[in-house]
Structure 1
Amino acid sequence: NISGGAPQAFAPGAVITRLTIRAARDSSFEARFEAMPYVQTICFRPPIPAKPQIAGTIAARVTSSKANDPYAHIDMEGRYRVNFLFDRDDWKLGHESMWLRQARPYAGDTHGQHFPLIAGTEVAVAFEHGDPDRPYIAHALHDSKHPDHVSLRNYKRNVLRTPANNKLRMEDERGQEHVKLSTEHSGKSQLNLGHLVDAGKKKRGEGFELRTDGWGAIRAGKGLFISADAQPQAQGQVLDMNAALAQLNNALQLVTTLAQSAAAADALSADGQSQQGLRDRLAQLKSAGLIASAPGGMALTTPQNLQLSAGENLTATAGDSADITVLKRFSVAAGGPSACLPRSSASNCLPPVARWKSRPKPTPWR
């Protein structure tokens, strides 16, 4: 029986929209329902249920379309595919999910930070606003098959290492701080700074080392300054070359002084103007030159040939003595005038050409 204010509305029938059934040992069976009159022109639309949400993250592993792929499997937008660990279905290799973005600490228009993830890497997948249809890789994780490269054995180190062992390592142990930038190519090409150690953490030096088993080049388009003069705690200007310029000034002063003696003897003197011009150009590297300075001395040595070549002037200046020792042949050739001017009577010097030509031919050395 239908009771209420409009029973005739249900005469054609009713569409049940809600049904509740209740029964117990101490009560009778009871069925309650809600219904609406049946009308062909009106359809029942139940309320749209709320979309499910996922809180937290879900474990997954990065996949690739190639077995044992040594490189990341990503698309043109840098996205990944993953296999959720709860998923037991069989999928085509590299098609286990939709393409997923990876969250990173820095990103922008064709710039940012991206260290590609290779197949097998465990990741935690999060969902934007909890929406199951908007997953993204929140972060990557180490696991028992892919252990952390920083552990109790080296917990004082900060290490960025790629699968190919390209490495940036920063040691924070007090008193043994160092930085190492390394690649396996060309026989461990490395830049080592600070407290230098070997693979066994044994000290092998201090300061800095730039090394490779391959080729090396140092190139500076505006000039290059190499100095062993101290600049404690990196205080001072980068191109502070006062010590080097002082040596050049001393050399120029020596040339000027000896030039006066040469002029008094009506002899050919050194070209001081070219030295002055070189000194001015090298000061603060006004031109693309190279200047090297070392307070403790320098040595250039090779078991084979050594050549010094200048397109214009070649100048050698010594504040004390100059020694040239040759075991076999020694040759000096000048296409123009030449001079040898001793300042003291104790000096030995070859006589001018016009004078020794008239003398008897000396006996060859034996």
Structure 2
Amino acid sequence: MEEQDTVQFMGQLHRLSHRRITLLSSDYKTRQAISASRPVGPEREGLESYDPVGDYAFATLSEAEHYVRLHSEALQVDKSFWHGRANVRSARAGTRFELLHAPWVHTAHLRGQDHFLFTQVHSYGINNLESGAALLDADLTTRLQLDHLDPQVLAEAQRSGFAQQFNAVGHNQPWRPTLADGTGQRLNPVATAHGPQTAIVVGADGQTTAGSGSPLHCDAMGRVRVRFHWQAEDDRGACWVRVGQALAGQGFGAQFLPRIGQEVLVHFINGDIDRPIIFKALYNGRGEGGVAPTPGGAPGQSNLAVYAKANDQRPSAEANLAGGNSPAWHGGGGGETQHRNAAALSGFKTQGFDGQGHNQLVFDDSDQQGRIQMATTQAHSQLNLGHLIHQAGNYRGSFRGQGFELRTDAYGAVRAAKGLLLSTYAIEPHTPAGDASAAQALLQQQRDLAARFDLAAQIHHTVPLASHRGVHQAQLSALIADQAPLQALHTSLSATVTGERLAQASADALKRDSHHPIPHSADPLLTLSARDSIAKIAGQSLQWTAAQTLTLGSGADTHLATGQTLRLHSGQAIAALAGAQQADGIGLALIASAGAVDIQAQQSDIHLSAQDDLKIISIEAAAQMAAGTTLHLAVEGGASLTLEGGNITFACPGSIKVHAGKRQFSGPSRSQFGLPLFPQSVCVACLLKAARNGAPYAQLQ
């Protein structure tokens, strides 16, 4: 039994631990990472403790260095410390003491280590009552499960009534506490969240309804404010919370921001309750036509009559009876007399800030009725693909057709800088998209037709076809410099490209090569081909304009019918060739059922020639022939009649016979016949205007 308080045993413990500690934190706003590193003890190489402390944990580098020093000192305390047994009744954690007569005073590396700081003290006392109380103490010892006590300390306490075990560090060594649960060495760890929570998106003043203002309250980073359900309704201390998106990048990504009043699911980064992030949005409340809450999950009743009010143009059952947010599409009214929707609709639907219009992308997965709709209520603009039906909200309406529909109540435009193909010829799904083989075949038929009739025009001495021969000169067109228009069009339409590399394909298109596997027009052509017929119908006017050639061709008949006037104007020649292939029936008919037929050659001659008879007949009036100088009638045998000036000359190699009931020859007489007036000079102003506009001809005067 000691006469005074003493330390009975004391020794130094060393543990294998980290020799370097590194802390790292990142800030998403500055897109910077702040890192600080420090050795643990005198050794500088070895195991490293890497501790990610969460987002924006440090404001500056000096703050990070401060915390890494505290962390290092805490690890050093756990790495090297003193352990002992004593019966010092005044020992308390945090107090200093001096150890007298230490046995290591003569050890070189421990000399001078006689002042210490208690960091942990476990005291154990046993009373000295009678045997019955001693049995109680033994039972309490078992119940307390004091297995962590040194057996020698427990034995000393049972022998003398009091004993201790302690940990201590040198008085000049900084001491930092470590957490009892072993989660780390930080002095004040942040509060942790044990899972996600739901919250309501609020406005600038904490309101959960948009009112007359904007339904969206966010900052430049797309963050919104939320209020958790455990916060008071008048709590305006909501912080900005980032919104998780499906994709986020510099100038690209997805953007779906929850609006004021929506319920959202909030996760916490690294479980840190001060680092919330919005993960998803949630529907809530009770939709119109839904089942009311019932005790214990008992069956409830729904008002299904609201579903029957919908039709092709009017939705129904879109309200929320609890003031919440109902889904745009659902399977609540799947019956044929209801919404006819077995939860087959999915997609995206937005809402105008004024609550009136919307945009939507709908995927309809109904059996054998697949459909996609991309639509906006602005001008009722839509792209519908697949099984086309009417849709009003959640209601799947009546059938409208199959295929695709692109519609709008406003203006529409289709543009393709490299070319556009519109065709009613079907192709296999694996066929290249630009396949225009059907259009090429039809165009080749037109080339053959033009070649035949150009040859006919040459044989019959009429105007050749520029679309086959060339514009201005042989084998010339604006599309391809050394090919006529129809041939150039066929060459460009028949071009192909390689399917290996995009850059090579672009180069191949310019070469107009037709030996590659992928069809691709070489020029920006608009190709319109139909397996059956094409109808071009206009309520008012229809204009066809071409800078070079306009070719109309048909394998059978071509009909031009107008309700009033048909006009053909040409800067050079108009040629009409009929009967080039067969001469049965009428070759060329010009008939005016009412009004006059006026044929003029204002600057040159008119030639009327016939292989057989040439007839000029007036049924009910006169047939007149007039000339400005000479009128000459002759036959191949040599007989002729010439009217020239004031003279009439009869000439014949044979006889002249005159048969008349009465013959009378009077003196000189003169009869005036009015000739038509033709323009004689070029209109200079018209000529200059034609030159500026590139017109092929100018007006005469």
Change (3 A) 1:276 1:45: closer
Match of 2:527, SS state, is strand
Kept in 2: contact 1:342–1:349 (CA 8 A)? no
Match of 2:350 among 152, 158, 162: 162
1:219 has 2:415 as partner = yes
SS of residue matched to 1:81:
strand
Q: Does 1:97 align with 2:244?
A: no
Alignment of 1:76 with 2:220, yes or no, is yes
The answer to whether 1:125 aligns with 2:266 is yes
1:114-153 alignment, distance < 5 Å: 114-144=255-285, 145-153=324-332
Tell me, in whole angstroms, the C-alpha distance in 2 between the residues paired with 1:246 and 1:210.
Answer: 29
Tell me if 1:251 matches 2:446. Answer: yes
User: What amino acid sits opposite 1:324 in the alignment?
Assistant: L
Over alpha carbons, which structure has the higher Rg?
2
CA contact (8 A) 1:178 1:192 kept: yes
CA 129–264 in structure 1, closer or farther in 2 if over 3 Å, else same? same
**Counterpart among 179, 185, 194 of residue 372 in structure 2:** 179
- Partner of residue 381, structure 2: 189
Alignment of 1:239-278 (within 5 A): 239-271=434-466, 272=468, 273-278=484-489
The aligned residue for residue 235 of structure 1 is 430
Change (3 A) 1:90 1:294: same
Name the SS for the 1:206 alignment partner: strand
d(CA) in 2 for partners of 1:59, 1:89:
15
Which residue among 80, 83, 86 is the counterpart of 2:230? 86
Is 1:58 the counterpart of 2:197 in the alignment? yes
Stretch moving more, 307-316 or 96-105:
96-105
- Deviations for 1:134-181, whole angstroms, at most 9, x for unmatched residues? 111122111011012232244112121112321111111121000000
Aligned amino acid, residue 257 of structure 1: R
Distance 2:188 2:90 in 1: 28
Separation in 2 of the partners of 1:5 and 1:80?
A: 64
Shift of 1:115: 0.6
Greater shift, 221-230 or 341-350, is seen at 341-350
- Is 1:328 aligned with 2:564? yes
Query: Residue by residue, what CA displacement relative to the aligned partner does 1:232-265 show, whole Å, maximum 9, x if unpaired?
Result: 4x23111111111111110110111112122112
Give the structure 2 partner of residue 23 of structure 1: none
TM-score scaled to structure 2, two decimals? Answer: 0.44
Deviates more, 1:339-348 or 1:256-265: 339-348
Q: Which residue of 2 aligns with 1:348?
A: 588
Q: Report the number of matched residues.
A: 343
Asked whether the 8 Å contact 1:282–1:290 carries over to 2, the reply is: no
* Offset at residue 360 of structure 1 (A): 7.1
Residue 107 (str. 1) matches residue 359 (str. 2): no
Partner AA of 2:437 in structure 1: N
Aligned to 2:490: 279
Deviation at 1:314, TM superposition (A): 1.0
Secondary structure, aligned partner of 1:275: helix
Partner amino acid for 1:348? L
Instruction: Summarize deviations over 1:200-241 as a string: whole Å, max 9, x none.
Output: 421111100000001000001111111111124x23111111
After superposition, give the CA deviation of every residue in 1:309-350 in whole Å (9 maximum; x if it has no partner): 111111111110111112222222222122211123321256
Higher deviation after alignment, 193-202 or 62-71: 62-71
Q: Which moved more, 1:234-243 or 1:207-216?
A: 234-243
Question: Once the two structures are aligned, what percentage of the paired residues are identical?
Answer: 27
Residues 1:106 and 1:44: Cα distance change in structure 2 (over 3 Å): closer
Name the stretch that deviates more: 121-130 or 220-229.
121-130
Q: Aligned letter for 2:251?
A: T
Root-mean-square deviation over aligned CA pairs: 3.7
Query: Structure 1, residues 85-130: CA drift from partner, whole Å, max 9, x if none?
Result: 11016234xxx32211122333333332221110111112221121
Deviation at 1:304, TM superposition (A): 1.0
| TM-superposed deviation, 1:297 | 0.4
Higher alpha-carbon deviation: 259-268 or 347-356:
347-356
Give the 3 Å change call, closer, same or farther, for CA 98–323 of structure 1 in structure 2. same
Q: Which amino acid aligns with 1:226?
A: L
Give the structure 2 partner of residue 305 of structure 1: 541
Most deviating of 177-186 and 127-136: 127-136
Q: Which residue of 1 aligns with 2:290?
A: none
Pairwise CA distance, 1:42: 12
Give, in whole Å, the separation in 2 of the partners of 1:333 and 1:42.
110
Once the two structures are superposed, residues 181-209 of structure 1 have per-residue CA deviations (whole angstroms, 9 ceiling, x without a partner) of 011112x1100000001024211111000
**Which structure is richer in relative contact order (CA contacts within 8 A, separation 6 or more)?**
1
Change (3 A) 1:352 1:291: farther
Q: Would the aligned equivalents of 1:192 and 1:208 in 2 still touch at CA under 8 Å? A: yes
Q: 1:326 to 1:103 in 2, by over 3 A?
A: closer
In the alignment, the residues of structure 1 paired with residue 226 and residue 619 of structure 2 have an alpha-carbon distance, to the nearest angstrom, of 92
TM-score normalised to the size of structure 1?
0.82
Cα distance in structure 2, aligned partners of 1:307 and 1:120: 56
From the superposition, tell whether residues 215 and 89 of structure 1 become closer, same or farther in structure 2 (CA, over 3 Å): closer
Per-residue deviation, residues 9-53 of structure 1 (Å, max 9, x unmatched): 959xx97x9999xxxxx99xxxx9x999xxxx9999876465432
Cα pair 2:245 2:256 within 8 Å, conserved: no
Q: Which amino acid in 2 is paired with 1:98?
A: C
**CA distance in structure 1 between the aligned counterparts of 2:190 and 2:570, rounded to whole angstroms:** 95
Q: 1:159 is paired with a residue of what secondary structure?
A: strand
Task: Give the SS at the match of 1:286.
Answer: coil
C-alpha distance 335-89 of structure 1, shift in aligned 2 (>3 A):
closer
Using a 3 Å threshold, how does the CA distance of structure 1 residues 265 and 42 change in structure 2: closer, same or farther? closer
| Contact map agreement 1:341 1:349 (CA 8 A) in 2 | no
